[in-house]
Amino acid sequence: MAEKQSGRGFFKLVSIRKLAYRSWDESKKMWSIAGPAILTTVLQFSLGFVTIVFVGHLGEVELAAVSVVHSVVEGFAFGILLGMGSALETLCGQAVGAGQFEMLGIYMQRSWIITGVTALLLTPVYIFTSPILKLLHQTDQMSEVAGRYCIWVIPQLFAYAVNFPIQKFFQSQSRVWVMAVISGAALAFHVLLNWVLVTKLGHGLAGAAIAGNISWWVVIVAQIIYLVSGYFPQAWTGFSFMAFQSLGAFVKLSLSSAIMLCLELWYYTIVILLVGLLKNPEIAVDAISICMNLQLWTLMIALGFNAAVSVRVSNELGAGHPKAAKFSVAVAVSTSALIGILFMAVVLITRSDFPKLFTDKPVVISETSKLGYLLAATILLNSIQPVLSGVAVGAGWQSLVAFINIGCYYLFGVPIGAILGYKFKLGTMGIWSGMLVGTLTQTIILLFISFRTNWEKEALRAEERIRTWGGPSETQQASQG
């Protein structure tokens, strides 16, 4: 009996060691992508973060206007273009896993065509921002200032259209450190430009817009130089007319990705719009915008894991390794959740101090500090949810998740927030609390789906997808082109 127990204990120890080794090995693979991806997303998001910090010292109206533009208008465009470009995560990731590199450049060019046209269609939103915000019952003064600023930053809209496809192209091949270096250099340059144009020369909002436009296009030009410099001999063979083929089917997948991601990214934008309808909206919008900008900064870290798990899942499914894909999901969710707990603790500890980074107005600092608990809870949930969305993109579940998002966010979270905020007179706290309920519901559903999925079937679907999108006919033409 003692020998049997000893034997069981030995095998249990061996199993634990194997699990630990597998977890460590997967963590290294995950962090090799997530680390530079996190750095890239944080650095690129920080371009807007720096702009708001400089503008925040121009005045309350300017801060509210730029915050609304950044969170509502640019968030709207950012979500659509990121989503349209995210079709590449599924296609390129699974093609890399299957060893079919020839179509990656063609996929990226198709995505550029789609995102470029999308940016053109979004331009009127930037031009007519002022009347749109007034229609949404935002104050006239803030809407006028936001409208002027939005027209000035139209060049950034087209920078997003180029940026997202090329990023997905790099990420699918785990070439992410170059993006991080480029983004870091651009951020340092952006801080200097804002100091010169906004603070030193006193050009105000116009200076902030010019600085943002220049900095974003520095990022784009640097990435294109790296692309055409010969580092992708198989995946990039130059521009091709094949990019104009199969656009209809490509648009369909891009739209599914866009709808899924937009429904997520716009969710908290609605908080700002609903808060703008409360009494004393400038103070309330300033407070909620500060929290949302900080929450978005931490969300960029979760989006790094989103990119990493998308690459890992798509690569493993494309290679026909369903168990490895499932294990990647478990490691990514656990790691990102631990980081979320850490950030939640930091926010709770510093809730009376972090508002001072954005404003020196005592009333805004006080109002923002009151929202610290809700901000901490949001950060925790948003450390897990984007990772699950990355799993969905890697596996090609965009349409399913889009329906889940509609139900949890817009048929559940938004109405509850509106009822708590207006009917029960809970204001900003009520609106935000309702939205949190929607996020919690969606996260629980995605967790259930991710860990109950038949990954063997998903590997077979990936194989079929590769045949459909990058079969012999297309890859042969690409290699000959």
- Average pLDDT for 70-75: 79
CA 158 to chain centre: 17
Looking at the domain assignment, is residue 9 inside a domain?
no
Helices marked H in 56-103 — which ranges?
A: 60-68, 74-85, 87-97
DSSP state of 356: G
Collapsed DSSP state (helix, strand, coil) of residue 239 = coil
Band (444; pLDDT cuts 50, 70, 90): very high
Nearest alpha carbon to residue 59 among 142, 144, 143: 142
Other Cβ atoms within 10 Å of 404 Cβ, number: 18
Half-sphere exposure of 435 (CA within 13 A, CB side): 28
Instruction: Indicate if the pLDDT at residue 384 is higher than 80.
Output: yes
Residue 233 belongs to what domain range?
Answer: 33-474
What is the per-residue pLDDT for 120? 94
pLDDT tens-digit readout, 310-342: 888 888 888 888 888 888 888 999 998 999 999
Looking at the domain assignment, is residue 166 inside a domain?
yes
Looking at the domain assignment, is residue 438 inside a domain?
yes
Looking at the domain assignment, is residue 285 inside a domain?
yes
Looking at the domain assignment, is residue 76 inside a domain?
yes
Looking at the domain assignment, is residue 203 inside a domain?
yes
- Taking the C-alpha atoms of residue 394 and residue 91, their distance in angstroms, rounded to an integer, is 9
Instruction: Indicate if the pLDDT at residue 415 is higher than 90.
Output: yes
Looking at the domain assignment, is residue 383 inside a domain?
yes
- Average pLDDT for 369-391: 89
What is the per-residue pLDDT for 103? 78
Instruction: Indicate if the pLDDT at residue 256 is higher than 80.
Output: no
10 Å CB burial of residue 448 (0-12, 13-18, 19+) is exposed
What is the per-residue pLDDT for 362? 87
* Residue 430, amino acid: G
The secondary structure of 167-229 as a DSSP string is HHHHHHTT--HHHHHHHHHHHHHHHHHHIIIIIIS--HHHHHHHHHHHHHHHHHHHHHHHHTT
Other Cβ atoms within 10 Å of 64 Cβ, number: 28
CA 237 to each of CA 49, 85, 233, 242, 480: distance values in angstroms, whole numbers, following the listed order: 37, 20, 7, 12, 10
Nearest alpha carbon to residue 206 among 144, 155, 160, 153: 153
Band (469; pLDDT cuts 50, 70, 90): low
Question: Would you state the structure tokens that stand for residue 301, as one six-digit string?
Answer: 């870290």
Q: Percentage of the chain with pLDDT > 90? A: 22
Q: Indicate the Cα dihedral angle 160, 161, 167, 170, nearest 10°.
A: -150
- Average pLDDT for 106-135: 89
Looking at the domain assignment, is residue 333 inside a domain?
yes
* Residue 457, amino acid: K
Residues in contact with 201: Cβ distance below 8 Å, sequence separation at least 6, in sequence order: 207
Q: Which residue has the higher pLDDT, 132 or 276?
A: 132
Instruction: Indicate if the pLDDT at residue 205 is higher than 70.
Output: yes
- Average pLDDT for 98-120: 85
What is the per-residue pLDDT for 479? 41
What is the per-residue pLDDT for 156? 92
CA 250 to each of CA 115, 134, 401: distance values in angstroms, whole numbers, following the listed order: 12, 36, 19
Band (480; pLDDT cuts 50, 70, 90): very low
Number of folded domains that form the chain: 1
What is the per-residue pLDDT for 181? 92
- Taking the C-alpha atoms of residue 410 and residue 301, their distance in angstroms, rounded to an integer, is 25
Instruction: Indicate if the pLDDT at residue 6 is higher than 70.
Output: no
What is the per-residue pLDDT for 478? 41
Instruction: Indicate if the pLDDT at residue 379 is higher than 50.
Output: yes
- Average pLDDT for 19-43: 85
Band (132; pLDDT cuts 50, 70, 90): confident
What is the per-residue pLDDT for 216? 93
Whether the Cβ atoms of residue 284 and residue 428 lie closer than 8 Å to each other: yes
Q: Which residue has the higher pLDDT, 275 or 163?
A: 163
Least confident residue range of 173-177, 205-209, 248-252, 469-473: 469-473
Band (347; pLDDT cuts 50, 70, 90): very high
Band (473; pLDDT cuts 50, 70, 90): very low
Whether the Cβ atoms of residue 459 and residue 320 lie closer than 8 Å to each other: yes
pTM beyond cutoff 0.95: no
